[in-house]
A and B are shown apart, each in its own frame.
Chain A
């Protein structure tokens, strides 16, 4: 179990540029989640996937944000035309398949996050 990994760990960009983050979940975890955490706040849900299907998107996820999980393994989160308000820590988490977790809800395991700074 190598844990959830995220790349890059830090990203500094200029306003208006596009950025893309990658998340590699724990193998065999079919659920993958994206959260955003701003300074002094708890993480806020953005979106989640079951395998390659994107099942829910938060209203926080504007049209400039897009997430994909094309083969049901790793996921990417792209932000187009970044704004200073996008500066935050972007966290990825994964969890076990339903029915295999000894219950209906299992633990979400978090990666180290990608810290985005928009200048």
Chain B
């Protein structure tokens, strides 16, 4: 069984400040981990994914995440927040032995303060 926990349902940062969204996972098998972003009334767009290659993963829009097995974490960061980053962010996990179903966290709503 797999699960993810996203700490903080709401995060607010000032424009230009560091963005840090937290995700911890639980998995009985080596996981594949994903971050998706969802804008209002839209589907999910992939930001980045970890698939057991490099532990530091770079994604779109300046986001990156680091897989830390010892901490069972996959936190999402961006050095400088932009107003357009305001959205809902979801961490997800799947097993790494096939195109398996995704198990999502409950999401973190990111607000950017001008």
Interface residues of A (CB under 8 A from B): 4, 31, 33, 35, 40-45, 48, 50, 56, 91, 93, 95-96, 98, 101, 103-113, 115
Contact = CB atoms under 8 A, between A and B. Distances in A.
Interface residues of B, number: 28
Contact of A115 (B36, B41, B49): B41
Given A41-B107, A42-B90, A43-B90, A108 B43 contact: no
Interface string B35-46: 010000111111
A107 B106 contact: no
Contacts, number: 68
A61 B101 CA distance: 14
Given A110-B45, A113-B43, A115-B41, A103 B104 contact: no
Nearest to B41: A115
Contact of B101 (A48, A101, A107, A110): A48
A44 B101 CA distance: 9
A104 B98 contact: yes
A105 B34 CA distance: 11
A31 B99 contact: yes
A112 B51 contact: no
A45 B96 contact: no
Contact of B104 (A40, A44, A105, A106): A44
A40 B51 CA distance: 28
B106 A41 contact: yes
B43 to A, nearest CB: 4
A48 B103 CA distance: 13
